[in-house]
Amino acid sequence: MVAFALVPLLLAGSPLFALAAPLEGLTTTASVKGVPIFPPINSGILCQLPIFQAICAVVSKSSAPKTGVQVTTAIGVAQGVSDGSGAHRFPVKYASAARWAASTVSTKWSFPTGATNASGLPLACPQPLVDPSSYTEDCLSMILYVPTTLKAGSNVPTLMWIHGGSFIAGSATAPGLDGSNLAIATNSIVAVIQYRLGALGFMAPSGATNLAVKDTINAMNFLAKVVPAFGGASNKITLAGQSSGAGMIRALLATPSASSLFQSAILQSDPMNYGFLNASTQVTLQSTFNDLTGCSATNTACLNKLSLDSIVDAQVTLGNEAPFIDPSTGFAEPIRPVRDGSLITSPLDLTAAFPSVNKPILLSNVKNEAGTTIYGMFDGDASSSSFTQACQESLGDDRTALVQTSPFYNITGLADTRVPLELLGTDYQWRCPTWSLARSWVGKGGKAFVGVYYTGATYPANNGVAFCLESGSVCHQDDIEIVFGTVPSPSTAQAALTKEMQTRYKAFLTTGNPNVAGLTPWTAATMTDVHAHQLGGTPSPSGEVPVGACDPSFWGSAVQYDYQVYGI
Catalytically active residues are 243
Identity (one letter) of the amino acid at 57?
A: A
Give CA–CA dist 510/516, Å, rounded: 12
d(CA 240, CA 319): 26
Q: How far apart are CA 308 and CA 304, in angstroms?
A: 10
Instruction: Name the 3-class secondary structure at 153.
Output: coil
Query: Which candidate, 26, 88, 39, places its Cα nearest to that of 61?
Result: 88
- Give 544's DSSP letter: B
Sign of CA dihedral 93, 196, 46, 427: negative
Task: Using DSSP, state whether 328 is helix, strand or coil.
Answer: helix
Helix (H) or strand (E) holding 442: helix 432-443
Find the angle CA(319)-CA(322)-CA(325) to the nearest 5 degrees. 160
Q: Which class for 66: exposed (0-12), middle (13-18), buried (19 or more C-beta within 10 A)?
A: exposed
Under 8 Å between Cβ of 290 and 297:
yes
CB 532 within 8 A of CB 451: yes
What span, in angstroms and rounded, lies between the C-alpha atoms of 312 and 449?
38
Q: Let me know the angle formed at the C-alpha of 228 by 227 and 229, rounded to the nearest 5 degrees.
A: 90
3-class secondary structure per residue, 74-102: CCEEEEEEECCCCEEEEEEECEECCCCCC
Alpha-carbon distance of 165 to 168, in angstroms, equals 6
Q: Cβ(139)–Cβ(126) under 8 Å?
A: yes
The full DSSP string for 114-125 is: T--STT--PPBP
Q: How many other C-beta atoms are found inside a 10 Å radius of the C-beta of residue 99?
A: 15
- Compute the C-alpha angle 54/55/56, nearest 5°: 90
Pairing relation of β-strands 360-366 and 264-268?
Answer: parallel
Angle at Cα 475 formed by Cα 1 and Cα 262, nearest 5°? 85
Count of CB atoms situated within 10 Å of the CB of 433: 26
